[in-house]
A and B are shown apart, each in its own frame.
Chain A
Amino acid sequence: MAKINTLMPLKPTCPMTHKETVDRYFLEHRAKLLDIAAFLDRLDRCESIEQDYRIDSLHKCINVLLEKNVGRTEKILNILSDHSKEPINVAHEQGASGAPKQTDL
């Protein structure tokens, strides 16, 4: 995988205090977390359980959330990216699915 060098600083850059940030955003992100849990539960309740590359990617991303370093968002976006280098021969479709079909991560 190509490592993208970023300019991301390691020093504090958010003007709000830790408590202000938690007070402001906690409930919103608690709700988003429950949405993900409910989505995974819903998949378990489906009639047939199949392997899907998008859900495999999602599981890898969830592990990143527990890491204790900066740059989780960039890391997750990299998991959800095609890391091949050469242009494809023909565009057979116009849309994108949100996760690479084969990942080298």
Chain B
Amino acid sequence: MTYIDPHIHMVSRTTDDYERMALAGCVAITEPAFWAGFDRSSPQGFFDYYRQLTDTEPKRAAQYGINHHCWLCINPKEAEDVGFAREVISIIPEFLDHPTVLGIGEIGLNKNSKNELIILEEQLALAEKHNRLVLVHTPHLEDKLKGTMLIMDAVENTSINVDRVLIDHVEEHTVGAVLERGFWAGMTLYPNSKCTPQRAADIIEMYGTERLWINSAGDWGPSDPLAVPKCRHELASRGHHAETIDTISYKNPLDFLSKSGRFSVE
């Protein structure tokens, strides 16, 4: 069976990972723009990153039969300097017509600060203006609950339809509110923080599969590019139907990403 990993940072991974993912059944991925582990020193650094996301990575993925799409933004960790962030945001429109750019992401909050919120709102306005999908990063650990609520409020203050927004990194204390308010929800499978494959399977058992997906969010930190097939295995070994597993790891990502009018697994 094939799967889609809708959130993974392949710029931080080796080509061997593409091969392993292909062997495990991965046919498509989407890569949101994120924090590189250090703050970039200039907007030009982001320009080059967007070139890497729109040009280099699709070619690297294609060697293994994996379709690559991306999301562009300035991430919340680099949004505290509003002037700098606005310079970066001004670069984004020239990339938005690229055929593999699905929308704005992963935008959101990190420490739930006033400046992070201003830049979030300005990037939501960009998505609104260009009628693009939105992929949302929610804060880590103790900041997640508050940040998730602030982000959902910010989206609801725009004309963006909530079913065109995916709120990522949900856990047991946020998934219910995200789904109840009509958003899509993503569960990130991380070894030490966020969800393990077991807890993701538990959440699927408690909340069902509607508007819910799983992703590895593999990056430069402790993470696992094969987390999605491992969660599929966890579900299968508990006795869940193939249809449930296919819905969470293929059909749901396909349905949400196809709203962009640009996504395909071909």
Which residues of chain B are within 8 angstroms of A97 by Cβ–Cβ distance?
141-142
Say yes or no: A87 contacts B112, CB within 8 Å. Answer: yes
Main secondary structure of the interface of A (DSSP, over half): loop
Q: Is B226 located at the chain interface by the 8 A CB criterion?
A: no
Please name 15 further chain A to chain B contacts, defined as beta carbons within 8 Å, in addition to the given A77-B145, A91-B80, sorted by A numbering. A4-B145, A4-B174, A4-B177, A6-B176, A6-B177, A7-B176, A7-B206, A74-B172, A74-B173, A78-B145, A80-B142, A82-B146, A84-B146, A91-B110, A97-B141
Say yes or no: B116 contacts A91, CB within 8 Å. Answer: yes
Q: Is B111 located at the chain interface by the 8 A CB criterion?
A: yes
Per-residue interface assignment for chain B, residues 98 to 126, with 1 indicating a CB less than 8 Å from any chain A CB and 0 otherwise = 00000000000011111111000000000
Per-residue interface assignment for chain B, residues 135 to 170, with 1 indicating a CB less than 8 Å from any chain A CB and 0 otherwise = 000011111111001100000000000000000000
Main secondary structure of the interface of B (DSSP, over half): helix
Which residues of chain A are within 8 angstroms of B139 by Cβ–Cβ distance?
96
Looking at the assembled complex, report how far the CB atom of A84 sits from the nearest CB atom of chain B, in whole angstroms.
6
Give complex CA distance A97, B142 in Å.
7
Which residues of chain A are within 8 angstroms of B145 by Cβ–Cβ distance?
4, 77-78, 81-83
Say yes or no: A16 contacts B238, CB within 8 Å. Answer: yes
Q: From residue 1 to 22 of chain A, which have CB atoms closer than 8 A to chain B?
A: 2, 4-9, 13-16
Which residues of chain B are within 8 angstroms of A84 by Cβ–Cβ distance?
146
23 residue pairs of the A-B complex, CB under 8 angstroms, read A5-B180, A8-B206, A14-B238, A15-B240, A16-B239, A73-B202, A74-B172, A77-B171, A78-B173, A81-B144, A81-B146, A82-B142, A82-B143, A87-B113, A87-B116, A88-B113, A91-B80, A91-B113, A94-B111, A96-B141, A97-B141, A97-B142, A98-B142
Report the contact-size class of chain B (Cβ under 8 Å from the partner).
Answer: 35 or more
Per-residue interface assignment for chain B, residues 171 to 205, with 1 indicating a CB less than 8 Å from any chain A CB and 0 otherwise = 11111110110000000000000000011001001
Say yes or no: B173 contacts A77, CB within 8 Å. Answer: yes
User: Given A87-B114, A94-B110, does the pair A73, B172 have CB atoms closer than 8 Å?
Assistant: yes
